[in-house]
A and B are shown apart, each in its own frame.
Chain A
Amino acid sequence: MSARSGNGPGILFDRVDLTLGRTAILERVSLSVAPGAVHAVVGPNGGGKSSLIRALLGQAPHRGTIRLDWPGDGPGTVAYVPQAVEFDRGLPLTVEDFLAVLCQRRPAFLGPDRRLGYGEALARVGMAGKGRRRFGALSGGERQRVLLAQALIPAPDLIILDEPMTALDEAGVAIFESLLAGLTAAGTTILWVEHDLAQVRRLATRVSGLNRRVLFDGPPADMLSPEQVLDLFSAVPRRKAEAEASRPAARRMAS
């Protein structure tokens, strides 16, 4: 499978607001993802990480601007790895059938189109030789690997990962790391929603902390300090709480 080199786009989120009913999910979110970066988005559950992805994919109505700046003439290939797929576990669907449903036009029941490189993609995620296994009978980690494999067909220029390591075992984590390295070498832009901060610190080139709004954004080594992380995962970010607590005092001093 040939990876195109250096075709990853830059992504700009500019004052993005997303509201569901009366609940603000994202407020004035401004972020810039550099071309070819491994940009992680971390934050608590309900902090808006998945909503940010849905907004980027054009699947959530939002205000503000989300722009993909593609190098060259036209848009490249976007791949998406969801947390999970909903399907009947008893469905007679092999791993290759699943890839065929996703990746080819020819009806999947006529068999996989070998030219698309399903075997190679499965080998890259450590699933070589498992193409004929029933998809519903795979473990959670194996299914997650297959979801990663589908994202490699065709070779992506932008890959959006929604907590891809949730179900991965130790071997799966190692494969994910090598996959990430390969994609980075090919110039693919990677936007990666993740909850495992240790992995983010090791693998990401930049990290944004999101809890409805962007609380920090920068290199992981600088950003993922205990204090910042505590802020991010607090129900009310500490510095915001401190700022609000200090307001009456400031007002008293001013008067």
Chain B
Amino acid sequence: MSFETLRALIQGWAGAGLLPAGLTHGFLVNALLSGLVIGPVLGGLGTLVVTKRLAFFSEAVGHAALTGVAIGILVGEPYTGPYASLFGYCLLFALLVNYTRNRSNLTSDTLIGVFLSVSLALGASLLLILASRVNIHILENVLFGSVLTVDDRDLTVLLVVALGVTALMLPLFNRLLLASFNPALARVRGVPVKGLDYLFIVLVTVVTVASVKIIGAILVGALLVIPAAAARVVATSLRGFFLLSVAFASVAAVAGILLPVQLALPVPSGGAIILAAGLLFLGALLARFVTRGEEG
């Protein structure tokens, strides 16, 4: 089924009153589809990000997307989807951080802080240079996400990335987790610790980059972290942790896309998605306080 057919189907259901009226607009259907595709993947991958203590790293990769966009415009890519530069720069950034992390005596947060600052400085400088070339306000979409700009190409990128990441993440889930518990034990169990370390970095990066269009460079890392953090607060087993994180991320993505349109709120989709995730996190914390007390 092509996106066109699926879109027409959903629009038809919305027209018949089976779905929210806003979904009669094709752009909103695109945004909803991208949220439904990427939400569960971000939620699932987020459990590993939180367990491996890579929350700051995933935020940094998201922020690096800003520089990737600037480079893309500089080299002549369309500002609506400079994917070659986005993927290229963010992958380079992520791999360089990981490579240096394994070889310096700095703690991860210090090192990521240095790389993040330099990358943002580079991105900001390039964007100011490019200010005369493009309407700089269009970049707000890149920073905070927009439901208006998701087209079939973006959906295809999201779908390919989501399927690829899921196909790698699920069979390697245990091994990725084990490598963070005890590398020596993992190696004895046949886990190629260093290789998986890099693979995980790549997975986080491509998911982040593919989600930039809908969530925005500033906030994309948050959807990897907040739903998983909320799930970690209330779950009592790995199954609950994973499934709740997937559910929270999906609900936040769908709510953040639909609610601003339904309620006519002038809020960017990225902001709304992360606010929805934040509310879920708050709810999870409250649920924990109520059910288990302060020490829970």
Binding site for B on A (CB under 8 A): 54, 57-59, 78-80, 82, 84-88, 90-94, 97, 100-102, 104-111, 132, 134, 160
**A85's contact among B53, B170, B182, B188, by CB below 8 Å, is which?**
B182
- Ordered by A's residue number, 30 sampled pairs between the chains whose C-beta atoms are within 8 Å are A57-B184, A57-B188, A59-B183, A59-B184, A80-B185, A80-B188, A82-B182, A84-B182, A85-B181, A85-B182, A86-B181, A90-B232, A91-B51, A91-B241, A92-B232, A92-B238, A93-B238, A94-B236, A94-B238, A101-B174, A101-B177, A104-B174, A105-B171, A107-B242, A108-B177, A109-B239, A109-B243, A111-B239, A132-B237, A134-B236
- Indicate whether B180 reaches chain A with its CB closer than 8 angstroms: yes
Asked if residues B53 and A88 are in contact (CB atoms below 8 Å), the reply is: yes
Query: A82 to chain B: which residues have CB within 8 Å?
Result: 182, 184-185
Asked if residues A57 and B51 are in contact (CB atoms below 8 Å), the reply is: no
Name which residue of chain A comes closest to B238, CB basis.
Answer: A97
Residue-wise interface mask of B (154-194) relative to A, using a CB-CB cutoff of 8 A (1 in contact, 0 not) = 00000000000000001101100110111111011100000
**A59's contact among B47, B173, B187, B237, by CB below 8 Å, is which?**
B187
Query: B232 to chain A: which residues have CB within 8 Å?
Result: 90-92
How distant is B166 from chain A, measured CB to nearest CB, in Å? 11
Rounded to whole angstroms, the CA-CA distance of A132 and B173 in the bound complex is 20
**A109's contact among B184, B188, B241, by CB below 8 Å, is which?**
B241
How distant is B51 from chain A, measured CB to nearest CB, in Å? 6
**B181's contact among A59, A79, A101, by CB below 8 Å, is which?**
A101
Which parts of B228-279 form the interface with A (CB within 8 Å)? 231-232, 235-243
With known contacts A107-B170, A107-B174, A108-B174, A92–B181 Cβ distance under 8 A: no
Rounded to whole angstroms, the CA-CA distance of A101 and B186 in the bound complex is 10
Name which residue of chain B comes closest to A150, CB basis.
Answer: B185
How distant is A192 from chain B, measured CB to nearest CB, in Å? 16
How distant is B1 from chain A, measured CB to nearest CB, in Å? 28
Q: How many A-B residue pairs have CB under 8 A?
A: 85
- From DSSP, what is the main secondary structure of chain B's interface residues? helix
Query: B243 to chain A: which residues have CB within 8 Å?
Result: 109
Most B Cβ at <10 Å: residue of A59, A84, A106, A107: A107
Rounded to whole angstroms, the CA-CA distance of A85 and B178 in the bound complex is 10
Query: B242 to chain A: which residues have CB within 8 Å?
Result: 107, 109
Asked if residues A102 and B185 are in contact (CB atoms below 8 Å), the reply is: yes
How distant is B76 from chain A, measured CB to nearest CB, in Å? 43
4 nearest A-B residue pairs (beta carbon): A109-B242, A92-B235, A97-B238, A80-B188
Query: B239 to chain A: which residues have CB within 8 Å?
Result: 97, 109-111
Rounded to whole angstroms, the CA-CA distance of A180 and B61 in the bound complex is 48
Rounded to whole angstroms, the CA-CA distance of A82 and B187 in the bound complex is 12
**A93's contact among B187, B188, B189, B237, by CB below 8 Å, is which?**
B237
**B180's contact among A54, A87, A160, by CB below 8 Å, is which?**
A87
With known contacts A85-B181, A102-B178, A107-B173, A92–B236 Cβ distance under 8 A: yes
Query: B236 to chain A: which residues have CB within 8 Å?
Result: 92, 94, 134
Most A Cβ at <10 Å: residue of B170, B173, B231: B173
Name which residue of chain B comes closest to A80, CB basis.
Answer: B188
Rounded to whole angstroms, the CA-CA distance of A94 and B180 in the bound complex is 17
How distant is B192 from chain A, measured CB to nearest CB, in Å? 12
Name which residue of chain A comes closest to B189, CB basis.
Answer: A102
Rounded to whole angstroms, the CA-CA distance of A110 and B238 in the bound complex is 8
How distant is A25 from chain B, measured CB to nearest CB, in Å? 16
Query: A80 to chain B: which residues have CB within 8 Å?
Result: 184-185, 188
Asked if residues B184 and A101 are in contact (CB atoms below 8 Å), the reply is: no
With known contacts A101-B177, A108-B173, A109-B173, A86–B53 Cβ distance under 8 A: no
Q: A94-B236, A105-B171, A109-B242 are in contact. List 20 more A-B contacts (CB 8 A).
A: A57-B184, A58-B187, A80-B184, A85-B182, A86-B182, A87-B51, A87-B180, A91-B51, A91-B232, A92-B236, A92-B241, A97-B238, A100-B174, A101-B174, A102-B189, A107-B242, A108-B238, A109-B239, A110-B239, A111-B239
